[in-house]
Each structure stands twice: as structure tokens, then as C-alpha cells.
Structure 1
Amino acid sequence: MAEFDVDLFVIGGGSGGVRAARIAAGHGARVMIAEEYRMGGTCVIRGCVPKKLLVYASHIHQEIEDAAGFGWTIPSATFDWPTLIANKDKEIARLEAAYTANVQKSGARIVKTRAVFEDAHTLRLTTGEAVKAKYVLIATGGAPNHGLAIPGIDHVISSNEVFHLAELPKRIMIQGGGYIALEFAGIFAGFGSDVTVIYRGENILRGFDDDVRTHVRAEMEKQGITILTGNTVSRVDRHGKEFTTHLSNGSSVASDQVMFAIGRHPNVANLGLEKAGVAINPSNGGIAVDNFSRTSVPNIYAIGDVTHRLNLTPVAIREGHAFADTVFGKRPIEVDHVDIPTAVFSQPEVGTVGLTEAQARAQFSHVDIYKTDFRPMKATMSGRDTRVLMKLVVDGTTGRVVGCHIVGDGAAEIVQVLGIAVKMKATKADFDATMALHPTAAEELVTMRTPTARYVRQAAE
């Protein structure tokens, strides 16, 4: 009898786990993948994909308003939340089926069950079956974190439940200042909801460039979104179908829904990690891994959000692919986590890659900043009060563009391409040598010639 039932057992059927299973199977490995919820994971089922569909839907109201400036007269429009949610669910089901089919076509076997370690090579399934695996990949992702157990926390929804609300809330209070909080603030505001955002820090989008943070906040407030910083929620009271959220400054906010989006934590609980000897990274609570995604146990690997390195779907996919090529393709690959482009599908949209101004000034002795803030062409006809921000951060010694930051329509699409230039270490001279494509907003990136700011670090005496 074979020593192991499978060559690879994957715990988690999200984007990273699925990619690893498929590639490993393609290398000839016997693969089993366990998923206790739905194939596709957070991104496909209740994350990036359904979120972006709701973003699209929420934009339509603005497009209708802007139409008048272009000569269109549109009859009074109506919106039906249940229809949107039903159509969203239909698309998610289609994607889940595609994920399942692609795994099965690769030759990997899917088991719809929870899997828990009994030792470093043995997984116990909820069916009672025990599976011995030569290698194990943990790809269980993350889950919403509600923070402290304040009074009334049971009245609060997360980014899981928000996709399945029976009706559109007329008023919603959202605590958080990152990707998820701001994206849903824009979504609900676009549907006409009264939105209040509560954030504990001095400004939203912690970790992003300060100009981006300031610009996004100003644009969101123009849309009528209330943003209260320097505050936290201390208690949530329910009165029938309504809620009163009490804040740390003594004030309160009335709403029909209360949502927390204050971060996510790695799914490491109740996996039997201690029985397998898998160590947790004390600095972030995720599974500790090396540059090849290997844990403290030589035959066990972990990828994606469960490691809490960089919680982005494409990163998990790349890590899963690299793991499979390294272990089963005999081609060692380390994933480079530097200069990864990212987007916030807030309204306005944010696209960014590379260093912020503050990071560059801490790293380089000479930093040049090129920045422009302008009214987009479409707004000159629609009359909408909105502005676009574009910013380049340049190493003043070498001329290399080390950061690009955009706020405005299409920011994510533009930054995906800019990510190539930054990864290739393009210089400001390379940008300047590139012919502008007119008329576009993105042409500003290659027509900014004069620095708006220059910083030179003084040598220590």
C-alpha cells in the first residue's frame, strides 16, 4: 500500500488554494482539496467580485444624473434592491460552478467538508474519513474582525452579511476607514442611502499616500457621506428595526443598519495546527512562513490571507502557483511582494503602486514629487463637482519612478499598467519620452514636467 493517500491535500477552496491544486495536479500530483463552504473563497463568493458588481450598480444613478448635461432627458428611474441581489447571486453561482469544474478537470478531487490536522500528515474530515497526505497546503483565508465585544455587537453586520440584506437600508452606519468600509460607503451612497463612516484614526485609508487620503475624503464628503474620524463605536442599541450607535465622543448615530469593517483576521482557529506543530507569526497572527510559503513544519505550506502577509487575491493566486511549481514542478519560485499594484473601489476610485511620499522620503536622500489635481473632461459637461488626483513619486538621485497614485474614474485600470513600468524600474525620463494619448486623464502622467515639491535630506553632521 502507498504510504500516503494523496501527494497534496489543500485546505480551502479559495482562489489561492484552487490555483495550487490545479497546478499541482498538472504536474502529476494526486490532489485533494477540502472546502466546507463554497468553492471560490471570499473573493468570489462574498468579497471582490460581488463587491465590484455592486459598485457598478451604484454608479448608474450618477450616470443618470450626469446625462442631462449631455442633452439626455431620462424619465424618473426606479431601483429594485432584491433584483440586483438576485442577479448578483446568479453570477456568483456561475463563477462557483466554473471554479469547481476547473478543479475537477485538472484531476484534483474536491471534498465538501472541514479538514482538521491530527498530525503533520493526517487530516480528519467531518465525514470521519482520515486522509494521509505527503504535503499539506493551508489556504483558509481570513474572516471579518469585529474587534472588542462591545454591548450590542450582535446587532452588527460584517462584509459577509452585507451581500445578503433583504432590503436596501435608508441609513447605514459603517465603522472602518479601509478598503471595505469606504467601498461600501460609496455603494450605499450611490443607491441613495444616508451614510455615516466612523473611523478611529485621524484620517481614512491608513497606509496610503497622504494626498490620496485627503483627496478621497473630500470627494466622499462632497457626495454627502458623513465621515467622523477620531471616534470608535462604544455601544449599539436596537429599537425594533432601527439602531442607535453610541460613539466614544458621547454622540450617537441613528440608522437602519450598522456595519463593521475594521479589519480581517487569519482563519487559523480550530484547524489542529498545534497537533501538526505549525507555528503562528506573533507579529500578525497569521501562519508563519518563509519566502517559499513553507511553515515551521517542512511538509506543510500556507498561502494567501491566512499568512497575513499581503491580503490581496492576486497575491494568493501567485503564491499558490509558486508553491505548486516549487514542490511538484521542481522549479523553486519565490514570490516578489514588492511594488504590487492595488485599488480601492471607493467613489472616487483609488489606484496605487509603489511607495507613498512619506515612505520615499524615509528611504531616499532626494525625492521629487509631481502632482496634478484637475477637473475631468466629463465633468465640464455634466456639471459634477469632482476632481482627479495624479501623483508621481520619484527618486531624485536616479530619476526612477518609485510610486504612482491616482484618484478618479479608471484609476485601477491605469495603475495596473503603471505597475509594469514601476516593476521595470522606469524613470521619469521614460515617462517624459512617452507620447501622450489625448484626450485622456492618464495623459497627465506623461506631461508633468516640473516638480511640485522637492525634498533633500540634510546629511547628519
Structure 2
Amino acid sequence: MTQYNYDLFVIGAGSGGVRAARMAKRHGAGKVAVAEEYRVGGTCVIRGCVPKKLLVYASEFSKQFKLAESFGWDVGESTFSWENLIEAKDAEIDRLSGIYWRNLSNSGVEVIADRAVFEDAHTIRLVNTGKTVTADKILIAVGGAPFVPDIEGAELGITSNEAFHLETLPEHVVIAGGGYIACEFAQIFQGMGSNVCQVYRGDTVLRGFDDDVRSQVHSELVRSGVRVITHTVFEKIEDIGGGKKRVHLTNGTQLDADVVMYAIGRNPYVEGLGLEKAGVELAENGAIQVDAYSQTSVDNIYAVGDVTNRVNLTPVAIREGAAFAATVFGGKPTAYDHSDIASAVFTQPPVGSVGLSEADARKEFKNIDIYKTSFRPMKLSLTNIESRMMMKLVVDGDTQRVLGVHIVGPDAPEMIQLAGIAVKAGLTKDQYDAACAVHPTSAEELVTMNEKWTPPELKAAE
């Protein structure tokens, strides 16, 4: 019987890899190691969800100060220090990364601070030391990396990775992209006092979300002061001196900025990993191809998280990692169900979404009922702020099962977690209606909407 150095070797110490390693030990795996080339914690903890939400919180205060005045508060003059915020953010990320490291070590997992690449299906080379190790099972959990366009002057721009480490708050920012990262950072910088322009190739931001969500977020971006330019992309970027860059768009527009940021997607981080030496096959989109149990084309090699490009969310990577450990080391084959996963976009106001959009539901089901409402949140009732809240239920007209819930407004991410349970459980509109409302809340609208929405074109036909 072949003797390996490790029973399990995990490449990447993000949320998915860390959970898989710890759960594998809990299931009785022998020697387990995790190799990480940067910092333990992965994209979410180090340069993604967590620091981003800290910046979102910081950027919201400028609006909250104005809101407070409508409720009788005299907040006086306020100032903002980007430097103090980044210092506090870095301290918190250091603390969280340390917790991840300690949890791995306390679980009996060896943590290796090095880049790991394949030499063959069972052999890993540690790049910095040149050492090679062998493993019976190998899990790839390296995540993704921001996409940078192939244009003239591309090196003059930054990605979300670098945005967390800017030395000063930029006066003018131009952001490429219309996805959740682009929209969130547009309002982060705007809320802190930057002038922001967002450039998107489509007609409405947040492609893939329900159309009503997209329209609402687009309107709120503009309302917040973000200049949104659609139907165009970056053509080139030039350095015009004094720390300024000039962005040339394909529609002929020129934009000057201190910071130019790309938020146009992320790619699986597979470059230089040596997958060809191990025989691991990639899908057409560059992601590692896996089956329902996260197994690659090579029997002993598995992959979880964003590198597989299934559902690129941190909690999904965690669940995939746990399912892998249960399957391979727990004797309980487990395939994670990727349907009806709740998600949030931390725009201002934020988005909560779970289940099918109206457009997708109409493609899949014969009869669809739509319930939706739009109103000013009570918190804005004493102000002249025109921001509105939108809630929408997508319902199977034959079975009355609620197929999707979509919310744009204050606390939408908190609400969608609970709504996600109901959608996952397959509850019906009648069961929603049977729940007593909590008053006065915005969430009560989820159980009080009782009038079906009819598209204008159908109303006209009637």
C-alpha cells in the first residue's frame, strides 16, 4: 500500500478549504495540511465580504447624519478619516485571520504558508521552499481572482483587492462594471465623499437579478449621486500626470480620475497551479470541472468554492467543503443542493434575493402570479428623501408555491435569510398569508401582499 505524507492536502485556506480541513479531521482523517500563499481566511475575510461590509458601514454614516437632523438631532460638523478607517479595518482583518489560523491548528491541521502547485496527481510542490510532499486526497480551494481587461493602459487601474489598501480617499473614481462589487464600491466611495462614475456595458446594473431589483438599484445609484454611464466600456486608460488617469470609453467619452477600478467579474484562480500535470480537466469557462460531489476528472482530487464557478458565495464554499469532508472521510456521500440560495447585495439601500426571478420563473412554469409593492420606508417619513423600498413575491400560479422573494430596501439582507428558509421549504402563498404581520415593520409586507400584479401590457389587453 502506497504511503503518502498526508491523508488530505488542501490548497487554499479560504472559507471552503478551512471548513473542509477541519471537518475532515473531525471525521477521523489522519494527517491533514492546508497550504496558503497569502493569508489564512481567503477572499471573503481578507479582501472581500468582511472588509467590504466594514467600508459599507462607514460610508452610510454621511447619510445617517443627515437623516438624524430630521428626527431632531443636531449632529454638528463631521469629518471623515480614510486613514483611520483603513487602520481599524486592517486590525479587524488581522484578528479574524488569526482566528482562522488558530482554529485550524487547534483542529490538528498543519498550516503551511506557501504556494502549492501540482507535480502529479498525488504530488505537491511548495514553491517558496521547493519541497515536495505527497497526499492521498487533494482538495483545491483556491477561489477566484479579479478580471483585468486587455486594454491599453490596463496597468493603471486597480481591482477590489487594491481598493482596500488605498493610502488616501480618492477625489474622483471611475469604476468599470455593473455587478454587485461595482455597485457596492460605487456607493462606498460616494458615501465617503468621492465623485464616482460607474461605466457598464449593459442597460441596467446587476445582470442576473430580477428585473425589478435591477431597476430599483439602478435608480438608487443615480439618486445617491453616482453617475452611471451605460452601453459602453473602457477603450484605453492613459496617465495624464499628477496622479490622474484619463479613461477613454468606446462611445467617445473621456473621464478623468484619481482611481480607476475594475469590477467586471472574477475568474477561477487556476493559472500556474499545474493542473495539467495532475490531469485535472477544466470547463469551457476556465473553472475546474467537478461532479455533484465536488470530484474532479481525477479520482483523488476534489475542488470546492469559486474555483468551480458553481455558485460563487462564501457560505456555499463552506457547505461544499463540509459536504466533501462528509463524502470522502465521513462515509456519508453528500451532494450540496445549490438551488434556492439566498444572497445579498450591500448597495444603499441593500438587496436581498432568493429563488427564481420573474423572468426565469416564466420560462420554467406555465402560470406565474406576481405580488409586489413599493413604498417609502417609515424611517424616511420625516425626511424629504425619496428613496423607496421594493418587495416582490414570485409564485407558481398552479401550486401557489413561492418560487422567489426579492427585496430592495433597509435590512433586506437580514429579511432574506428568513425568507430563504421559507422558499427552501417550499411554502405556499397561503402559508405566507397565514402568518400574522409584525407591525410596524417593512417585513410585514411579505405576509400582507394580497393583490396580484398585472403587467401593463396585459392590463391594456383586458
TM-score, normalization by structure 2: 0.97
> 5+ residue gaps in structure 1?
none
Deviations 1:279-318 (A, max 9, x none): 0011x21000000000000000000000111110000000
Residue type at the aligned position of 2:42: G
Secondary structure in structure 2 of the residue aligned to 1:172: strand
Kept after mapping to 2: 8 A contact 1:376/1:388:
yes
- For the Cα contact (< 8 Å) 1:212–1:407, is it kept in 2? yes
Match of 2:383 in 1: 382
Per-residue deviation, 1:319: 0.3
Distance 1:346 1:252 in 2: 26
Aligned-partner residue type, residue 359 of structure 1: D
Q: What do the CA deviations read for 1:140-196 (whole angstroms, capped 9, x no partner)? A: 00000012x211111100011000000001110000000100000010111111110
| Structure 1 position 278, deviation (Å) | 0.3
Whether 2:342 is the aligned partner of 1:341: answer yes
Instruction: Find the aligned partners of 1:426 and 1:235 in 2 and give their Cα distance.
Output: 51
Distance 1:205 1:410 in 2: 19
Distance 1:189 1:305 in 2: 29
1:395 aligns with 2:404: no
* Aligned partner of residue 124 in structure 1, secondary structure: strand
For the residues of structure 2 that align with 1:454 and 1:372, how far apart are their CA atoms? 13
Q: Secondary structure at the match of 1:140?
A: coil
Write the letter of the residue equivalent to 1:196: C
Deviations 1:71-127 (A, max 9, x none): 001110000000000000000000000000000000010010111111111111121
The answer for the alignment partner of 1:292 in structure 2 is 293
Write the mapping of 1:54-133 to structure 2, written as runs, cut at 5 A. 54-126=55-127, 127-133=129-135
Q: Which of 140, 143, 152 pairs up with 1:141?
A: 143
Q: Who is 1:27 aligned against?
A: 27
Q: Which residue of 2 aligns with 1:260?
A: 262
Give the distance between the partners of 1:202 and 1:146, measured in 2 at CA.
21
Cα distance in structure 2, aligned partners of 1:450 and 1:426:
18
Task: Please tell me whether the aligned partners of residues 34 and 112 of structure 1 are also in contact (alpha carbons under 8 angstroms).
Answer: yes
State the distance in 2 between where 1:86 and 1:448 align. Answer: 46
- How far did residue 452 of structure 1 move? 1.1
Q: Which residue of 2 aligns with 1:9?
A: 9
Q: CA deviation at 1:453?
A: 2.2
Residue segments in structure 2 that go unaligned for 5+ positions in a row? none
Provide the rounded CA distance (Å) in 2 between the counterparts of 1:382 and 1:89. Answer: 35
One-letter code of the match for 1:4? Y
Shift of 1:64: 0.4
In structure 1, how many angstroms separate the alpha carbons of the residues matched to 2:62 and 2:22? 41
The separation in 2 between residues aligned to 1:34 and 1:47, in whole angstroms, is 20
The DSSP-based 3-state class of the residue aligned with 2:169 is coil
Matched, 1:404 2:390: no
Residue 168 of structure 2 corresponds to residue 158 of structure 1 = no
RMSD, matched Cα: 1.4
How far the C-alpha of 1:28 sits from its partner, in A, is 2.0
Instruction: Check whether the contact 1:236–1:246 (CA below 8 A) recurs between aligned residues.
Output: yes
Q: Which amino acid aligns with 1:7?
A: D
CA distance in 2, matches of 1:270, 1:236: 28
**Given the two structures, how large is their TM-score scaled by the length of structure 1?**
0.97
How far the C-alpha of 1:244 sits from its partner, in A, is 1.1
Q: State the SS of the aligned residue for 2:381.
A: helix
In the alignment, what sits opposite 1:419?
420
Partner of residue 274 from structure 2, selected from 263, 272, 281: 272
Corresponding letter in the other structure for 1:327: V
Partner of residue 172, structure 2:
171
Contact conserved, 1:367 with 1:454, CA < 8 A, in 2? no
Amino acid at match of 1:134: D
Partner Cα distance (1:89, 1:229) in 2: 34
Offset of 1:2 from its aligned partner? 6.5
In the TM superposition, residue 243 of structure 1 has moved relative to its aligned partner by 1.4
Say which SS state the counterpart of residue 382 (structure 2) adopts: helix
Contact 1:34 1:113 in 2 (8 A): yes
State the partner residue of 2:436. 435
In structure 2, C-alpha distance between the alignment counterparts of 1:54 and 1:323, rounded to whole Å: 33
Runs of 4 or more above 2 Å deviation: none
AA aligned to 1:237 is: E
